[in-house]
Amino acid sequence: MRYISTRGSAPTLDFRDVTLAGLASDGGLYLPESWPSFSREQIAAMQGLSYVDTAVAVMLPFVTGTLTEAELRGLCTQAYGRFAHAAVVPLVQLDQQHWLLELFHGPTLAFKDVALQLLGLLFERFLNGSSQQVTVIGATSGDTGSAAIDALAGRAGVDVFMLHPKGRVSDVQRRQMTTVIAPNIHNIALEDASFDDCQALVKAMFNDAAFSGSFALSAVNSINWARLMAQIVYYFYAAVRLGAPDRAVAFAVPTGNFGDVFAGYVAAKMGLPIAKLIVATNVNDILHRALSVGDYSQGTVVPTPSPSMDIQVSSNFERLLFDLGGRDGHALAAQMHGFEGTKAMQLTNAQRAAANALFGSDRIDLDDMALAMRWAFDSCGQTIDPHTAIGLSAARRAGLGADVPVVTLATAHPAKFGDAVERATGQRPALPARIGDLFAREERYASLPGTFDAVTAYIAARAVAR
Ligand SMILES: Cc1ncc(COP(=O)(O)O)c(C=O)c1O
Ligand SMILES: N[C@@H](CCOP(=O)(O)O)C(=O)O
């Protein structure tokens, strides 16, 4: 399998190089040259497979030429062996129509572990025996950071510089990052910044020839193709359990950077019958505006109790526009450069119509988020986190036929957002025993102004030059 950039000018890469590369050298994002596809029989044959076996079946076409099936199986077994639930990602039924897919049983209690546990092992494998020293730069609104740090702490050949918006992640999220005291982990709290500012700085570092020429930069955000690849798996895993390929299933996805739901789009391209992908945003609603009225313009980020979705520039939307628009990289590069200049972009009618064939969207405010948390708690006995509640609220008012099963992706453990859960339900979820001492651990991080010069100077003083 070869990988091409959404902006049409970067070299095509194999799976190893695309995993280590992150952002493409033309500023675009990599995706496969073509989508692998499964027949109905191949999807039916996934019924009853374990999570690891499903992962191998779904991901093998993407790694062909770089990893053998046995190698991929070994990596998946190791990655998902660290999950605290035997099913890895259990499905929980809420009522006749609604299910939760619990993606938060990994080491850092969020869905990011599903991809980042594997990515950490891929880095180790691809760097093993090479003298290459990779500098990972990442941006986080709370969950990517801790999952990446858990996956990469102490690994040889990798330094991690993780930027988070100071004061805009939950205390549990911050401590999950800043209490990992390993020599290759560097947490940076950006002052007066949003996640979008952190993400823009990461992209600026990749796009700065002098800086990116000095270090072997790599990414752990969902701009890295391997992140999305690992997330495609759970759409197949859930859907076959609910009747696919004979029955189409809908998914409601709490969304920020459009990575998780783009993985669902890829599953559909690969042949999985998906009735609808419901894009659920909080009041930071750029994706809802884009999908409902074509208005993809960057608003000001408003801090909310679902901080991981406080995002107003959704990186992976570029991948969707590329694929929907006939994969014309040069046309898309012009459209994206326009957006980067004006911070606004109107989708064409053709782009909107193509997107609306599969996607629906909704914007969930604080009251509706709290109502969904209460409904799950009072009527179904489930404690859910604010991000999951936004997905569930959108799922329940999507108006899908009663015969369509709707799976809401439960993206984080409720204990990561104890204050918001307690406000909505009156109960404070306990931290799982494995991180029960989180608030007793020492924290270490740097606080920096959110400028390119301050951040690059900090990194340059600590990273290993090429
Ligand atoms: C708990 C949680 N839910 C939802 C999201 C949104 O996912 P995505 O950015 O892939 O759309 C994130 C962060 O990305 C998250 O951490
Ligand atoms: N919600 C994320 C931010 C988006 O990051 P990505 O790695 O999925 O692109 C976070 O919690 O950090």
Is 357 domain-assigned?
A: yes
In terms of Cα–Cα distance, which of 353, 347, 83, 362 is closest to 250?
A: 362
Structure confidence by residue, pLDDT tens digits, 369-401: 999 999 999 999 999 999 999 999 999 999 999
Residue 140 — pLDDT band, cuts 50, 70, 90?
very high
Residue 301 — pLDDT band, cuts 50, 70, 90?
very high
Instruction: Say yes or no: CB of residue 140 within 6 Å of ligand 2.
Output: yes
Share of the chain above pLDDT 90, in %: 97
Residue 185, classed as helix, strand or coil, is: strand
Q: Which atom of ligand 2 is nearest to the CA of 164?
A: 12
Is 92 domain-assigned?
A: yes
Q: What does the angle CA 199 – CA 200 – CA 205 come to, to the nearest 5 degrees?
A: 100
Share of the chain above pLDDT 70, in %: 100
Structure confidence by residue, pLDDT tens digits, 159-217: 999 999 999 999 999 999 999 999 999 999 999 999 999 999 999 999 999 999 999 99
CB within 6 Å of ligand 1 — which residues? 110, 143, 222, 254-261, 308-309, 387, 411-412
CA of 140 to the centre of ligand 1 (A): 10
Gyration radius from the chain CA atoms: 20
Q: Which atom of ligand 2 is nearest to the CA of 195?
A: 3
For residue 332, the domain's CATH number is 3.40.50.1100
Is 416 domain-assigned?
A: yes
Is 41 domain-assigned?
A: no
Ligand having the closest approach to the CA of 387: 1
| Mean pLDDT to the nearest integer, 220-242 | 98
Is 397 domain-assigned?
A: yes
Is 79 domain-assigned?
A: no
Q: How far apart are CA 311 and CA 308, in angstroms?
A: 8
CA of 343 to the centre of ligand 1 (A): 22
Quickly tell me which residue has 């609808």 as its tokens: 276
- Note whether 405 and 99 are within 8 A (CB): yes
pTM of the model: 0.97
Is 156 domain-assigned?
A: no
pLDDT of 227 > 90? The answer is yes
| Mean pLDDT to the nearest integer, 42-55 | 98
Averaged pLDDT score across all residues of the chain: 96
Q: How many CB atoms lie within 10 A of CB 432?
A: 14
Residue 434 — pLDDT band, cuts 50, 70, 90?
confident
Burial of 2-36, coded b for 16+ CB within 10 Å and e otherwise, reads: ebbbbbbebeebebbebbbbbbbebbbbbbbeebb
CA of 309 to the centre of ligand 1 (A): 6
| Mean pLDDT to the nearest integer, 275-296 | 97
276 is catalytic: no
CA of 308 to the centre of ligand 1 (A): 6
Ligand having the closest approach to the CA of 222: 2
- Tally of domains within the chain: 1
Ligand having the closest approach to the CA of 221: 2
Instruction: Say yes or no: CB of residue 259 within 6 Å of ligand 2.
Output: yes
CA of 118 to the centre of ligand 1 (A): 18
State the burial class of residue 299 (Cβ atoms within 10 Å of its Cβ: 0-12, 13-18, 19+): middle
Structure confidence by residue, pLDDT tens digits, 327-381: 999 999 999 999 999 999 999 999 999 999 999 999 999 999 999 999 999 999 9
Q: How far apart are CA 465 and CA 210, in angstroms?
A: 12
Q: How far apart are CA 408 and CA 252, in angstroms?
A: 5
The pLDDT of residue 114 is 98
pLDDT of 265 > 80? The answer is yes
Please give the structure tokens belonging to residue 76: 């998946």
pLDDT of 132 > 90? The answer is no
Structure confidence by residue, pLDDT tens digits, 80-129: 999 999 999 999 999 999 999 999 999 999 999 999 999 999 999 999 87
The pLDDT of residue 292 is 96
Q: What does the angle CA 221 – CA 135 – CA 209 come to, to the nearest 5 degrees?
A: 90
Helix-then-strand count for the chain, H and E = 19, 15
Is 198 domain-assigned?
A: no
Please give the structure tokens belonging to residue 159: 């330094």
127-131, 247-251, 254-258, 295-299: which has the minimum mean pLDDT? 127-131
Instruction: Say yes or no: CB of residue 142 within 6 Å of ligand 2.
Output: yes
The pLDDT of residue 131 is 82
The pLDDT of residue 417 is 96
Structural domain span for residue 254:
87-109+226-425
Sign of CA dihedral 309, 290, 18, 106: positive
Ligand having the closest approach to the CA of 177: 2
Instruction: Say yes or no: CB of residue 144 within 6 Å of ligand 2.
Output: yes
Sign of CA dihedral 389, 251, 73, 24: negative
Helix ranges restricted to H, 242-310: 259-269, 286-293
- Note whether 301 and 283 are within 8 A (CB): no
Instruction: Say yes or no: CB of residue 260 within 6 Å of ligand 2.
Output: no
The pLDDT of residue 307 is 95
Of 112, 166, 276, 416, the active-site residue reads 112
CA of 377 to the centre of ligand 2 (A): 27
pLDDT of 30 > 80? The answer is yes
The pLDDT of residue 291 is 97
Alpha-carbon dihedral angle through residues 416, 161, 150, 280, given to the nearest 10 degrees:
40
